[in-house]
Structure 1
Amino acid sequence: MTDAARSARPPLRRADLRRMREALDAAPATILTVCTGNICRSPMAQVLLRASLSDAGVRVHSGGTHALVDHEMTEQAQQLAVTHGANATDSAAHRARLLTEALLNESDLILAMAREHRSHIVQMAPAVLHRTFTVREFARLAATLSDDEVRNGVAEAGSDAGARLQALARLVGRQRGMVPAQPDEDDVIDPYRRSQNTYDLSASQLVPAVAEVERVVRVALG
Structure 2
Amino acid sequence: MSAPRFGILAVCTANICRSPMMEMLLQAQLDDSRYEVASAGVQGWDRKPMDASAAAELERLGHSAEGFRSHPIGSYLVDSADLILTATRTHRSDVLGLSPQALRRSFTLVEFAALSGIVTADSPRELVAQAAQQRSLAPAEIDIGDPYRRGPEVHRAIADQIAEAVATISTRLNALVTADSH
Give the TM-score, by structure 1 length. 0.75
| Paired amino acid for 1:115 | R
SS of 1:32's equivalent in the other structure is strand
Counterpart Cα distance in 2 of 1:115 and 1:26: 32
CA separation of 1:66 and 1:55: change in aligned 2, threshold 3 A: closer
How far off its partner does 1:124 sit? 0.8
Matches for 1:1-222 after TM superposition, within 5 Å:
22=1, 26-86=3-63, 88=64, 91-145=65-119, 149-151=120-122, 154=123, 165-179=124-138, 181-182=139-140, 185-222=141-178
CA separation of 1:216 and 1:56: change in aligned 2, threshold 3 A: farther
How far off its partner does 1:144 sit? 1.6
Counterpart Cα distance in 1 of 2:86 and 2:148: 16
On the 8 A contact 2:34/2:177 being kept in 1, the answer is no
SS of 2:135's equivalent in the other structure is coil
User: Please, which runs of 5 or more residues in structure 1 have no aligned partner?
Assistant: 1-21, 155-164
Percent of paired sites with the same residue: 33
User: Please, which runs of 5 or more residues in structure 2 have no aligned partner?
Assistant: none
How far off its partner does 1:220 sit? 2.3
Say which one has the larger Rg.
1
| Paired amino acid for 1:52 | Q
Structure 1 stretches of 4+ moved >4 Å? none
Deviations 1:72-91 (A, max 9, x none): 001121121122233x2xx2
On the 8 A contact 2:5/2:33 being kept in 1, the answer is no
Counterpart Cα distance in 1 of 2:118 and 2:31: 25
Q: RMSD over aligned Cα, in angstroms?
A: 1.6
Deviations 1:7-35 (A, max 9, x none): xxxxxxxxxxxxxxx5xx64311110000
| Paired amino acid for 1:199 | H
CA separation of 1:63 and 1:120: change in aligned 2, threshold 3 A: same
SS of 1:62's equivalent in the other structure is strand
CA separation of 1:110 and 1:75: change in aligned 2, threshold 3 A: same
On the 8 A contact 1:109/1:169 being kept in 2, the answer is yes
Q: What does residue 158 of structure 1 align with?
A: none
On the 8 A contact 1:31/1:111 being kept in 2, the answer is yes
Q: Which has the higher contact order (CA 8 A, sep 6+)?
A: 2
How far off its partner does 1:178 sit? 2.8
Q: Count matched residues.
A: 178
